[in-house]
Amino acid sequence: MSYLVLGFCVVWVCHFAYLFVLDRQARQLGRRLDARISGASERT
Amino acid sequence: MRRLLLALAFLLLIASTWIGLTQGQIDPVQRNILYVHVPNSVCALLCFVVVLAASVGYLATAGQTWDLVATAAAEAGFVFATILNATGMIFSRAEWNVWWTPSPRLVTSALLWFLYAVYLILRVSLPGGQRRAARLCAVFGIVAFLDVPLVYISARFIPDIHRPNFSLDTAWQTAALMLGMAGTALLAAGLIWLRATLLRDNLKLEQELLY
């Protein structure tokens, strides 16, 4: 039973870890876009 | 749309786990790892098929979209290959009392993980411009794919501790496996789509900053 639980935990941890990495990259990109837009509006 | 796809994938995976661990339980209990091991293994191989197709597409057309898709599919495939090897090791320990043994299927699966780890390292470390890196990675993506058919045929043609195939006894067990397959395939598609979009937007922003 413990091996079964371990197996399912590994799967869910791997899936959520990768989703977390993608989410962090999306937020980072959003911040860079915001900075660029605010920089552009300051110049004009 | 992407969120809907990912949400649907997780719903299917939860349904598969629920059915697999209640109505469709396989005896002995540790064999229920099959419900996650098989779908993730199939999806890992499918992601590497996408890497191959995108790599050939990039070499033929030099279109940047092919390169982005290859990178995204390699990353998603690497995650699934990690799960393939990890759940395989756990199953092996529970079933055969060893974490790992040098059988053809296990060796080719481990090799697959290392090959795509090298692919991802190459993606970020090759010097000499983005186009050169993309071209070299496309070539490596095609060469690395040679291991995928070996993983598939290894247990079928060479005597192996790993079974070449398995049969399920009840309709509930088949339903659990099929839901798992569908959920994992949708998850893979969603992850590749999400990652490719992120890569494209990142590239656009960098190009805008340059000019």
Mean pLDDT of the region B7-25:
87
Count up the domains in chain B and report the number. 1
Closest chain A C-alpha to B198 CA, distance in angstroms: 7
Find the closest chain B residue to A24 by CA distance: B198
What's the pLDDT at B103? 85
Q: Is the predicted pLDDT of residue A44 greater than 70, yes or no?
A: no
Q: Is the predicted pLDDT of residue B202 greater than 80, yes or no?
A: yes
How many Å apart are CA B37 and CA B31, to the nearest integer? 10
Q: Give the tens place of pLDDT for each residue, A5-41.
A: 888 889 999 999 999 999 998 898 888 888 877 777 7
- Which residues span the domain enclosing B22? 2-210
Query: In chain B, which residue ranges form alpha helices assigned H by DSSP?
Result: 2-21, 34-61, 64-96, 104-125, 130-144, 147-157, 171-210
Q: Give the tens place of pLDDT for each residue, B131-159.
A: 888 899 999 999 999 998 998 888 777 77
Global pTM reads 0.89
How many Å apart are CA B18 and CA B73, to the nearest integer? 28
Find the closest chain B residue to A17 by CA distance: B79
Closest chain A C-alpha to B207 CA, distance in angstroms: 13
CB contact, 8 Å: B40 with chain A? Answer: yes
Q: Any idea how long chain B is?
A: 211
Tell me the two tokens of residue A25: 């990259």
What's the CATH number where B101 sits? Answer: 1.20.120
Q: Which residues of A touch B76 (CB under 8 A)?
A: 18
Q: Which residues of A touch B29 (CB under 8 A)?
A: 1, 4
Q: Which residues contact B187 (CB under 8 A, 6 or more apart)?
A: A15, B6, B9, B10, B13, B43
What's the pLDDT at B178? 92
| ipTM (interface pTM) | 0.84
The domain segmentation of chain A, as residue ranges, is 1-44
Cβ atoms within 10 Å, residue A25: 16
